[in-house]
Structure 1
Amino acid sequence: MQLHDVWFVLIAVLWTGYFFLEGFDFGVGVLTKLLARDRTEKRVLINTIGPVWDGNEVWLLTAGGATFAAFPDWYATLFSGFYLPLLIILICLIIRGVAFEYRHKRPEDRWQTNWEHAIFWTSLIPAFLWGVAFANIVRGVKIDENMEYVGSFLDLLNVYSILGGLVTLTLFTFHGAVFASLKTVGDIRDRSRKLATRLGVVTAVLALVFLGWTQVSRGDGTSLIAMVVAVLALVAALGFNLAGREGWSFALSGVTIAAAVAMLFLTLFPNVMPSSLNDAWNLTVTNASSSPYTLKIMTWCAAVATPLVLLYQGWTYWVFRKRIGTQHIVDVH
């Protein structure tokens, strides 16, 4: 295996980590409207991700930076062709971070309500658009012989990509509901588990259609194994959720995300961004990668930095591992 193959795998791992971690806090953000009955319960849900949401976004920065350094042509084509949806995601992430920090700064009901609306929509929109983006990458987009995207924004809105967006939205919301039941106590925990069951059934149906479509159109034996793992893990996560085993359910919903992302990257390889105009114009791990010397330096840097990131993020989750409930919320105003 050459270094550009290694970095393709590493980028897949980074996106898996991002969707696993940011996925549940997107889901919790959506649940502030779907699950919480009052402002106190909204504060409980937000507090479950309060210590970790910004750390989860490190995985996105790292995935984007690694793509820029390891596969500059892939990065250039992706970010120019998907400029509008990625810009919308970026704006949502900025507003979302501000909303988390500013929501409690003033006691007025209107002030807090507006920021709570912002948390909901800036969690829902990126959760949907990430699925649209990755579905288009797998499906193939209009790339010419100069490695340039020549399509329009509307070309990105097709049945397959919209289905992919619905899958990520429902899967992340299910993941968030399981996380909420894992991190809370009392009535909100019970309602989180019940909502997770309903969301899981919808997610299973959508995911089976989307992954099956992907397998039929672009898959092979290896991607089929990943698809089977994703489906079985989701079914098992539903079963453990019904049994009240939130820890196992959360772990298995994470396995579902990891297996689904693995399947998408397996259907891509050795391409990184297929062209729907001509297979000869596909961006591949070979023609879109940096020089071997650049990849070698990046590998050494990753070997030093990655364990440190994992350690400090793991420590954060350990420190804030306890459950919380409405009884822990103090009205500071």
Structure 2
Amino acid sequence: MDLATLWFVAIAVLWTGYFFLEGFDFGVGMLLPVLGRTDAERTTVISTIGGVWDANEVWLIVAGGATFAAFPLWYATMFSGFYVALLIILVALILRGVAFEFRGRREDRRWRANWERAIVAGSLVPAVLWGIAFADIVRGVPIDARHEYAGGPGDLVSWYSVLGGLATLTLFLLHGALFLRLRTFGEVRVRARQAARWIGPATVLVVAGFLAWTQVHRGGVVTVVTAAVAVAALIGAWALNRIGPAGAAFTLTGLAIVAATATLFIGLYPDVLPSTINPAYSLTVHNASSTHYTLTIMTWAAVIVLPIVLAYQAWTYWVFARRIGVAQRPPQRRPTPKRPAAARSGHR
């Protein structure tokens, strides 16, 4: 395997990790008003991802950085064509991160409700747009002979891309519901299990339809297997949610995300961004990559740094592995205002 192909695989792995980890974050955020009926319950729902959501987003940063360094032409052309969609995603992620931090700053009901809406919107928008974006990458976009994007915003919207957005939306909702069932107890856990029962069938249908369409468009022998694994894992997750342990069901939705993402990247290879104008204008693993020297330096850096990053994130999840619920949360106390120095002196 040459270094360009190796880094294409590495980027696929990074996106897979991002969708697996950030997928349940998005699901938890979207399900916040559904599963949290009281302020204490909504605080519990948010607390399940409070210690890990920002670390999960590191996978997105690393995936973007790796794409920029290993495939600069792919990065430049993709960001030129997807600029509006990526800007919307960025704003949504920023709003979501701010909402997590600001929601608990006041006891005011309206203040908390507004930031909770921001969490929902900041989770919903990326969950849909990432599916649309990756569907467009697999389907192809208008790229001219200079490898520049030659279309407009309307060229990024098709029935296939919309189905891709619905696929990631439902998949992340199911993943998040099962994560909440795994991480909570009490009424929130009961509602999470019920939500997964309702979301499961829709997820299976939408994801199966999207992967079948992908198979017709850019599929092969290997993608038949990965797509079948994804659908079978979703069916298994839905069944286990009804009769089995939460951990096994959550693991299967994670397997579905891994298999579905693998289907997209395997179907895409050796292209990284196909051209709908002329296949000869497509960006491929080799004509869009950096020099061999650059890829060599990146490879050594990844070998040294990646194990440290993975070990740190594994430790983080181990620290926050305990189930939580409303009954566990201590009552929140307002900070006692400090007395002026003069008043303290007089008291003495």
| Aligned equivalent of 1:282 | 282
| Aligned equivalent of 1:183 | 183
Distance in 2 of aligned mates of 1:219 and 1:28: 32
The answer on 1:44 being equivalent to 2:67 is: no
1:86 deviates by 0.2
For the Cα contact (< 8 Å) 1:193–1:244, is it kept in 2? no
What is the correspondence of 1:249-288 to structure 2 with a 5 Å cutoff? 249-288=249-288
Code of the aligned partner of 1:131: G
| Aligned equivalent of 1:331 | 332
1:124 deviates by 0.3
Code of the aligned partner of 1:212: A
**Percentage of identical aligned residues:** 57
- Shift in CA distance, 37/244, structure 1 to aligned 2, threshold 3 Å: farther
Distance in 1 of aligned mates of 2:161 and 2:47: 33
The answer on 1:310 being equivalent to 2:310 is: yes
| Aligned equivalent of 1:208 | 208
| Aligned equivalent of 1:24 | 24
Distance in 2 of aligned mates of 1:147 and 1:289: 13
After superposition, give the CA deviation of every residue in 1:223-261 in whole Å (9 maximum; x if it has no partner). 111101101111111121112411011111000000000
Task: Give the 3-state SS of the residue equivalent to 2:48 in structure 1.
Answer: helix
The answer on 1:83 being equivalent to 2:111 is: no
Task: Give the 3-state SS of the residue equivalent to 1:272 in structure 2.
Answer: strand
What is the correspondence of 1:1-333 to structure 2 with a 5 Å cutoff? 1-329=1-329, 330-333=331-334
Code of the aligned partner of 2:84: L
Q: CA RMSD in A?
A: 0.8
1:290 deviates by 0.2
Q: Give the number of equivalent residue pairs.
A: 333
Distance in 2 of aligned mates of 1:244 and 1:226: 24
1:320 deviates by 0.8
Distance in 1 of aligned mates of 2:267 and 2:305: 29
Larger Rg: 2
TM-score, reference length from structure 2: 0.95
Distance in 2 of aligned mates of 1:244 and 1:31: 22
TM-score, reference length from structure 1: 0.99
Moved over 6 A (4+): none
Code of the aligned partner of 2:195: L
**Structure 1 portions without partners, runs of 5+:** none
After superposition, give the CA deviation of every residue in 1:100-146 in whole Å (9 maximum; x if it has no partner). 00100011111111100000000000000000000000000001111
Distance in 2 of aligned mates of 1:61 and 1:221: 32
1:328 deviates by 2.0
